[in-house]
Amino acid sequence: MVATEKATNPTKVEVKDLTIRYGPKVALEGVSLDIRENEIFGIIGPANSGKTSFLRALNRMDLFTPGMQVDGTIRFDGRDVRKWRNVFSLRQRIGVVFPLPVGLPMTIYDNVALAPRLAGVKGKAALDEIVERCLQRAALWDEVKDRLDSLGSLLSGGQQQRLTIARALSQDPDVLLLDEFSIAVDPVTTMRIEDVLKVLKDEITIVLVTNLVQQARRLADRTAFFLMGEMVELADTEALFTRQTTDERTQAYVEGRFG
């Protein structure tokens, strides 16, 4: 693995010797890496490379995945995530946005206000401020501010994905996991969300799994290439895309020769 990298921010997530199995099948083996504060960390690779499994392990989604076994160590702000007594508090700090927008069967306002309410925020003024701020950060406020009482499920696909991002941001996470967010989103909306992510990285750490290698090139500060359960390479993103890395498999993938 090559890692020719620039000056570093402090480590936010540290992964050592991570191996993930589903029964006898190994999905990811022996991965060690660090994810830094206020960076967009990209993960690319073809299907069945272990990318989504990696995200599941970061915020303990393995608890809801039958047969998933996680070995190795994941530290978030220096704490072993498998030793957190309150897994829900961990997930508040490590939010996730899935490939397909999952709108809750409630109003736009309530979609965003749900997590703060569960955390104990009761006052309408406080909730109003959180809802507006999160919708602004997700580049959705101007489109929905006059219909916050409408069902979120009535929004377009791209708007629902941005609503999902707003809902994740309402928890004030330190890390945001994005699993191929643009699968069900049109190109114009994809670019709008990318612009949002570039701004958000000044506030939070973002882990971006994407099947679009050029999206990783546009957004990620560093990128890891996963292939068949192995982390082949990790490097500054531009190095990965300009033949400054050493593994031929990486070059073949980013150049579109397979995948």
The domain segmentation of the chain, as residue ranges, is 11-254
Helix (H, G, I), strand (E, B) or coil at 25: strand
Residue pLDDT, tens place only, 205-250: 999 999 899 999 999 999 999 999 999 999 999 999 887 777 889 9
pLDDT tens string 10-39: 999 999 999 999 999 999 999 999 999 999
User: Using CA atoms, how far apart are residues 62 and 122, in angstroms rounded to an integer?
Assistant: 32
Per-residue pLDDT at 103: 67
Output the pLDDT for position 183.
Answer: 83
Helix (H) or strand (E) segment spanning residue 74:
strand 68-76
**Per-residue pLDDT reduced to its tens digit, 171-196:** 999 999 999 988 878 888 889 889 99
pLDDT tops 70 at residue 4: no
Q: What angle do CA 167, 55, 227 make, to 5 degrees?
A: 140
Q: Which helix (H) or strand (E) covers residue 136, if one does? A: helix 124-137
Give the right CATH number for 11-254 from 3.40.30.10, 3.40.50.300, 3.40.1440.10, 3.40.630.10. 3.40.50.300
